[in-house]
Amino acid sequence: MQPHIYVINPNSTQRVTDGIDAAMAPLRMAGGPQISCLSLPSGPAGIQTQHDVESVTLPLAMLARSLEEKAGAFVIACFSDPGLYAVREAVARPVLGIMECGILTSLTLGQRFGVIAILDGSIPRHLRAYGAMGVSQRLAGELAIGLNVTELSQFDRTLERMVHTGKRLRDEKGADVIVMGCAGMAVYRDPLQDALGIPVVEPSQAAVAMAIGRVQMNWHRA
Amino acid sequence: MQPHIYVINPNSTQRVTDGIDAAMAPLRMAGGPQISCLSLPSGPAGIQTQHDVESVTLPLAMLARSLEEKAGAFVIACFSDPGLYAVREAVARPVLGIMECGILTSLTLGQRFGVIAILDGSIPRHLRAYGAMGVSQRLAGELAIGLNVTELSQFDRTLERMVHTGKRLRDEKGADVIVMGCAGMAVYRDPLQDALGIPVVEPSQAAVAMAIGRVQMNWHRA
Amino acid sequence: MQPHIYVINPNSTQRVTDGIDAAMAPLRMAGGPQISCLSLPSGPAGIQTQHDVESVTLPLAMLARSLEEKAGAFVIACFSDPGLYAVREAVARPVLGIMECGILTSLTLGQRFGVIAILDGSIPRHLRAYGAMGVSQRLAGELAIGLNVTELSQFDRTLERMVHTGKRLRDEKGADVIVMGCAGMAVYRDPLQDALGIPVVEPSQAAVAMAIGRVQMNWHRA
Amino acid sequence: MQPHIYVINPNSTQRVTDGIDAAMAPLRMAGGPQISCLSLPSGPAGIQTQHDVESVTLPLAMLARSLEEKAGAFVIACFSDPGLYAVREAVARPVLGIMECGILTSLTLGQRFGVIAILDGSIPRHLRAYGAMGVSQRLAGELAIGLNVTELSQFDRTLERMVHTGKRLRDEKGADVIVMGCAGMAVYRDPLQDALGIPVVEPSQAAVAMAIGRVQMNWHRA
Amino acid sequence: MQPHIYVINPNSTQRVTDGIDAAMAPLRMAGGPQISCLSLPSGPAGIQTQHDVESVTLPLAMLARSLEEKAGAFVIACFSDPGLYAVREAVARPVLGIMECGILTSLTLGQRFGVIAILDGSIPRHLRAYGAMGVSQRLAGELAIGLNVTELSQFDRTLERMVHTGKRLRDEKGADVIVMGCAGMAVYRDPLQDALGIPVVEPSQAAVAMAIGRVQMNWHRA
Amino acid sequence: MQPHIYVINPNSTQRVTDGIDAAMAPLRMAGGPQISCLSLPSGPAGIQTQHDVESVTLPLAMLARSLEEKAGAFVIACFSDPGLYAVREAVARPVLGIMECGILTSLTLGQRFGVIAILDGSIPRHLRAYGAMGVSQRLAGELAIGLNVTELSQFDRTLERMVHTGKRLRDEKGADVIVMGCAGMAVYRDPLQDALGIPVVEPSQAAVAMAIGRVQMNWHRA
């Protein structure tokens, strides 16, 4: 039996987890790792505040440790990469965050990445993370659509705002690749890319794509 | 009655808190804020792992909120600045981390700062923080002495290692100012500076010094 | 008797010195250092050109040396930090510039700082200083209000322009904290912060706040 | 029939291509893309000079275009990423370079990456590439083993030098993850990682792992 | 007889070469190097795509080698600096690119440089080069006028777009010096500078000016 | 009659001026600008302290203004570039500093520049300047030989220390081009380059070479 990639949505909104799961379809291969998407039952409805971030770090580490026997890798499916380093410390298997992988993937698709956030309040946290990653020089800009995680499900309004924001990033800030800054945006990737005409990265896909290779190579902490 | 600056040591090792408290003596002024040093009772013996960091973030926020009525400012007295952004979000009063303030203070005392860490495992976490702060260009280097928080109390061995490491930072890495990378090192500041002949920053002092001004100006979230 | 923090306004416009002095009120504490604000008698009406900057460097150093016996620290109260390194070399007591301290303080209050300058001509000089400090990555932008030091005293016009410029920095450039780029703007801090809804740093206060700690710790050149 | 990932070794040394091919084994999955490793027949024995780099760029683009009908993605398997942007322009399918992917992958495995180059002359070219990628801040250092591509096949000498160089990167330069700076080093990954005790990235594996996801998502130029 | 500076226009549009030649007039001195402007006969009409760039690298190296006996230095007169490192490797005499020299010269004329490109598609390539040069922090922005190399000869339309774009770089992006991002723009330097009121760098002049000194010093590879 | 390039040595040590003058020989061309080397009579024996730097800024501006009628350009021939921006403001003709031009020139000769300083105390000042220039990423390192300006004239000892220091920059810090960090080192350029086998930049030559072009183009402030 194949090892699992556990894609853990740290919030408890099942619709978000379902959206991620749907986005995983093309990455499921007969001979490849199983890709299992889970919600963190104790998580908040969305990771929007710093309190939300902190509240899930150790539960994520505990959940990961409980799954480690069957795991080939873990993906933390929230664009704040909550608990990334705690989970890495807790398990020997590879742990990837969707923010870091979404950004790193975008670096191979354009020269200046733009990020569409859900809320203004998330942006400073993301900027700190880009600084910690040492990739700020590649950032064109980040702008928010002003909708929270649960509001994301209203399709037309959300898409309209994402297209508007993506165009600002492209035309005013000079972005030539867009990263969607929330795991709950997966369903909007294709229409957004069609509207913008530049590559759009869905970060959960980016992270799982990178995780697949590590599972196949049986990677674990040196 | 003057408002308090609550200097919260997120670990439960009272000797560390006592050392911080002693270092505060010169910063206590008749007409200035009261400076109260607390341990976090639920904290680990030392903040050494990422798990240690995560385990104290929300307890710190809760403790800060419980103290807010009498508080003028808060200082998180651990060089990993655990929970810095969670505590900032939780209270309207200023919250400062000793890492950020130790580094920022060093930027006014030399052109390239060196950091003396306790353990090798702390260094990547610190490097991420310097990146998030956007000050990596000023970093000469960071080296560890290989002693954990509780071992720091063995005076002669610790000082000898700090002097040795400080000289490497000065002579091999080009540091012209040193930041002590642990709240538990406060007692070593003076002999270390004497031995190295370049400024040495004790980060809890650096943070409280900055906090005093904010309290006096009655600063709170805009 | 307490040592003095000498806050030296390198220009000779007494109204600017008076404005700084008024801004110091909350930082004067029983048991704390005395805070004495001086104009440089030989200084120009405002430090606006590079010639203005150069003309005060050695006079500042001489003045500082003449005051050193009673000094605990010195603050150079001009946002070009003129003569900062010359004064540091001249005296053994700590010397802080209001630009460096204003910027460093802002780094603890937001992720991207915006600066309101008086004149366009000051901006390249400031940008060089941020580069020398190694903090350019945190800069959102700097914009000028187009008024010289003496024109700053016309309250309504100045405040209106500062609010307008601050909003551009916040909304177009993404600043989440503002640094006032002239010592002569001190009186506008509170209404500006009220209008913008994000923290506004008055740099003379920022520098003196940092200086207080050094005086209390009896800091001098290692 | 599955689309191919064409892994093109721009040199004509078949042993290098065979080594890459062997390293691909774990990444071949039922249901996943086919992974086909090719030499560039017109390529030099090794890509060691700038002339070598330039000589393969358009042949790589032509070869890629000739294969595009059956291709899901292309990987350029030389650590100078020769012709990366020319091939990207020539075909609509994703094109990845092993240098960029090796580096990006290392950013998820450590905080400071070290690179083991074959020859001193390659290092400035690599440094330019890291600068263009905007990731220089994460570089611990790069050192060469002083062996050319064909000399790499002498196992014991090569491994001994790689271990020696890796230890210098780890101990003197502060690297906590190593990237092997030549496609011809694939066979040394496991013993090198065992000797160093920190993660070692084989860049062809890193690139193909990232390519698999793009093929599965049927990615092509927007 | 004086050695030559060979200014090689890698495209075959003679009008571009003629424009460069005319711009060289003031740099021709009786006792100085001869300045000879050549087209690359095999070059495309303009260097606009990555294929264009790659197609000239080795021909440039060969041409340079064939001219080396009479050469004091070489200048590659295309703003993509195609083949810069290949030509450097091929000959012992100094080789300068007009992009690098245009940018470096601008760094002595303003604090933030803006670049006027011909086409949007050139911008990511230029941004990679600025990153490789390590000077991205000084970039205010780069914007294109949307005209290809041959369209540049329509004077009024081109000048009008260059002025419009230069004003955007100056007023929206904060540039205080402009670099013209194509060798074919030489004739527009003076009217553009008059219209903008800030320095405008013609990059072929910048490169030849730097080359003259090397020829006079008989510089060759150490 | 040709306009002059005034190369002003801000110190009053005539031997230094004579050494610069000798280094100018190859840059004097029939038909080119006259190159006139002057000492600043009021200058100190060497620019070694910050006080030395400040003491010459306005005298340099005054001297330049007095010479402007016959000037085509000015070069400030001290590696601290004292008064660079004051002189630029004072005259409409181009003003170049030997530090900035030495560094910029080195960027075309290698990927990582090393600087040989005279004294340890100069290094922080230089590092601030590299930061202001935005080129710190290209710095391999800077090391001092521990000799002051007047001691530089003792040939054998000075050369021996420069070779030793240059080798450390090359072998330990990874420099592939060296910039001599004092105008008084001009005479050592050739033997140093011979000993190191990598390019060595004499900064006064670098600056005058760049100035020649500006004079020929009749450049003045826009």
pLDDT digits (tens, 9 = 90+) for C179-213: 999 999 999 999 999 999 999 999 999 999 999 99
C-alpha span between F115 and F178 (Å, rounded): 6
Please report the pLDDT score of residue D150 as a whole number: 86
Tell whether the model's pLDDT for residue A63 goes beyond 80. yes
Nearest-CA distance from E68 to chain F in Å?
A: 18
Quote the tokens at residue F84. Answer: 């660079």
Report the chain F residue with the minimal C-alpha distance to residue B110. F124
Identify the band that residue B222 occupies on the pLDDT scale cut at 50, 70 and 90. low
Indicate the angle between helix axes B98-106 and B123-133, nearest 10 degrees. Answer: 70
Is E222 part of any domain? no
Nearest-CA distance from D152 to chain A in Å?
A: 23
Contact B118, B149 (CB under 8 A): yes
Tell whether the model's pLDDT for residue B80 goes beyond 70. yes
DSSP codes, B103-168 = HHHHTTT-SSEEEEES-GGGHHHHHHHHHHHT-GGGEEEEEE----TTGGG-HHHHHHHHHHHHHH
Backbone angles phi, psi at D51, to 5 degrees: -60, -45
Mutate to test the interface with B, among A47, A48, A49, A50 (most CBs of B within 10 A): A50
CB–CB of E134 and D136 under 8 A?
A: yes
Please report the pLDDT score of residue E129 as a whole number: 98
Please report the pLDDT score of residue D4 as a whole number: 98
Global pTM value = 0.97
Tell whether the model's pLDDT for residue B74 goes beyond 70. yes
Tell me the CATH number at E12: 3.40.50.12500
Report the chain A residue with the minimal C-alpha distance to residue D27. A216
Task: Give the residue from B50, B70, B185 showing the smallest Cα distance to B125.
Answer: B50
Same structural domain for residues F85 and F123? no
Is F221 part of any domain? no
3-class state of residue B45 by DSSP: coil
What is chain E's mean pLDDT, rounded? Answer: 96
Same structural domain for residues A110 and A197? yes
Please compute the mean of the pLDDT values over residues A109-128 and round it to a whole number. Answer: 97
Contact A183, A20 (CB under 8 A): yes
CB contact C10 to F (< 8 Å):
no
CB-based contacts of C187-195 (< 8 A; 24+ apart in sequence):
C187/C19, C187/C22, C187/C23, C187/C155, C188/C158, C188/C159, C188/C162, C189/C23, C191/C159, C191/C163, C192/C159, C192/C162, C192/C163, C192/C166, C193/B222, C195/C163, C195/C166, C195/C167
CB–CB of E132 and D136 under 8 A?
A: no
CB-based contacts of C125-129 (< 8 A; 24+ apart in sequence):
C125/C50, C125/C53, C125/C80, C125/F85, C126/C79, C126/C80, C126/C99, C126/C181, C127/E111, C127/E112, C128/E111, C128/F132, C129/C80, C129/C81, C129/C99, C129/C100, C129/F132
Candidates D49, D58, D129; nearest CB to E54: D58
The ipTM assigned to this model is 0.96
Place of tokens 């630009």: C99
Q: What is the DSSP letter of D2?
A: P
- What is the separation, in whole angstroms, between the first and last Cα of chain B? 24
CB contact A18 to E (< 8 Å):
no
Total domains present in chain A: 2
Backbone angles phi, psi at C123, to 5 degrees: -65, -50
CB contact A208 to D (< 8 Å):
yes
Is B58 part of any domain? yes
Q: What is the DSSP letter of D18?
A: H
CB–CB of B85 and A136 under 8 A?
A: no
Q: Sheet with E4-9: list strands edge to edge.
A: E34-39, E4-9, E71-76, E95-97
Task: Give the residue from A193, A191, A169, A189 showing the smallest Cα distance to A113.
Answer: A169
Same structural domain for residues B87 and B14? yes
C-alpha span between D146 and D161 (Å, rounded): 9
Could you report the per-residue pLDDT of F109-134, keeping only the tens digit for each? 999 999 999 999 999 999 999 999 99
Report the chain D residue with the minimal C-alpha distance to residue A213. D209
Tell whether the model's pLDDT for residue A160 goes beyond 90. yes
Radius of gyration of chain A (CA): 16
Residues 21-50 of B with CB under 8 A from A: 49-50
Chains with at least 3 CB pairs less than 8 angstroms from chain E = A, C, D, F
Range of the domain at B12: 4-97+204-216
Please report the pLDDT score of residue C130 as a whole number: 98
Identify the band that residue F39 occupies on the pLDDT scale cut at 50, 70 and 90. very high
3-class state of residue F125 by DSSP: helix
CB contact E137 to C (< 8 Å):
yes
3-class state of residue A142 by DSSP: strand
Is A222 part of any domain? no
Q: How far is CA C151 from CA B53, C145, C181, C185, E113, in A?
A: 51, 11, 15, 11, 31
Please report the pLDDT score of residue E149 as a whole number: 87
Lowest mean per-residue pLDDT among C122-131, D121-130, F144-153: F144-153
Nearest-CA distance from E124 to chain A in Å?
A: 6
Task: Give the residue from F107, F60, F62 showing the smallest Cα distance to F80.
Answer: F60
What burial class does residue E31 get, using C-beta atoms within 10 Å of its C-beta: 0-12 exposed, 13-18 middle, 19+ buried?
exposed
Residue numbers in E near D80 (CB within 8 A): none
Is E221 part of any domain? no
Mutate to test the interface with D, among F137, F171, F177 (most CBs of D within 10 A): F137
Q: Quick one: what percent of chain C has pLDDT higher than 90?
A: 96
Tell whether the model's pLDDT for residue F1 goes beyond 90. no
Contact C170, C4 (CB under 8 A): no
Please compute the mean of the pLDDT values over residues A179-196 and round it to a whole number. Answer: 97
Q: Find the length of chain A.
A: 222
Same structural domain for residues A153 and A190? yes
DSSP codes, D73-132 = EEEE-STT-TTHHHHHHH-SS-EEEHHHHHHHHHTTT-SSEEEEES-GGGHHHHHHHHHH
CB–CB of C137 and A136 under 8 A?
A: yes
Radius of gyration of chain C (CA): 16
Q: Sheet with F95-97: list strands edge to edge.
A: F34-39, F4-9, F71-76, F95-97
C-alpha span between C125 and C48 (Å, rounded): 10
Contact F186, F37 (CB under 8 A): no
Report the chain F residue with the minimal C-alpha distance to residue D135. F137
Identify the band that residue D221 occupies on the pLDDT scale cut at 50, 70 and 90. confident
3-class state of residue F177 by DSSP: strand
Q: Cα A181 to the chain's mean position, in Å?
A: 7
Please compute the mean of the pLDDT values over residues B88-103 and round it to a whole number. Answer: 98
Tell whether the model's pLDDT for residue F65 goes beyond 80. yes
Is F136 part of any domain? yes
Place of tokens 């002669």: B156
Indicate the angle between helix axes F123-133 and F98-106, nearest 10 degrees. Answer: 70
Please report the pLDDT score of residue E1 as a whole number: 73
pLDDT tens, N- to C-terminus, chain E (222 residues): 789 999 999 999 999 999 999 999 999 999 999 999 999 999 999 999 999 999 999 999 999 999 999 999 999 999 999 999 999 999 999 999 999 999 999 999 999 999 999 999 999 999 999 999 999 999 999 999 999 988 999 999 999 999 999 999 999 999 999 999 999 999 999 999 999 999 999 999 999 999 999 999 999 886
CB contact B191 to D (< 8 Å):
no
Could you report the per-residue pLDDT of F192-218, keeping only the tens digit for each? 999 999 999 999 999 999 999 999 999
Report the chain C residue with the minimal C-alpha distance to residue B199. C222
* H helix or E strand, kind and range, residue E116: strand E113-117
Mutate to test the interface with F, among E34, E95, E108 (most CBs of F within 10 A): E108
Identify the band that residue C118 occupies on the pLDDT scale cut at 50, 70 and 90. very high
Backbone angles phi, psi at B45, to 5 degrees: -65, -30
Same structural domain for residues D185 and D211? no
C-alpha span between B222 and B219 (Å, rounded): 9
Please report the pLDDT score of residue D155 as a whole number: 96
Please report the pLDDT score of residue F97 as a whole number: 98
C-alpha span between A115 and E16 (Å, rounded): 40
Same structural domain for residues A186 and A121? yes
Same structural domain for residues A110 and A191? yes
Same structural domain for residues E64 and E129? no
What is chain C's mean pLDDT, rounded? Answer: 96
Q: Count CB neighbours of D15 within 10 A.
A: 14
Backbone angles phi, psi at E91, to 5 degrees: -125, 155
C-alpha span between A213 and D78 (Å, rounded): 19
Is D222 part of any domain? no
Could you report the per-residue pLDDT of D161-220, keeping only the tens digit for each? 999 999 999 999 999 999 999 999 999 999 999 999 999 999 999 999 999 999 999 998
Tell whether the model's pLDDT for residue A222 goes beyond 80. no
Contact C29, B32 (CB under 8 A): yes
3-class state of residue B1 by DSSP: coil
Mutate to test the interface with A, among C107, C109, C135, C137 (most CBs of A within 10 A): C137
Mutate to test the interface with C, among F48, F50, F137, F139 (most CBs of C within 10 A): F50
Same structural domain for residues B111 and B73? no
Candidates E58, E133, E134; nearest CB to D54: E58
Residue numbers in A near E137 (CB within 8 A): 137
Same structural domain for residues A152 and A208? no
Task: Give the residue from B112, B104, B80 showing the smallest Cα distance to B182.
Answer: B80
Is C222 part of any domain? no
C-alpha span between A41 and A52 (Å, rounded): 13
* H helix or E strand, kind and range, residue E61: helix E50-67
Please report the pLDDT score of residue A132 as a whole number: 98
State the count of interchain CB pairs (< 8 A) between C and E: 13
Same structural domain for residues E90 and E116? no
Q: Quick one: what percent of chain D has pLDDT higher than 70?
A: 100
Same structural domain for residues D73 and D117? no
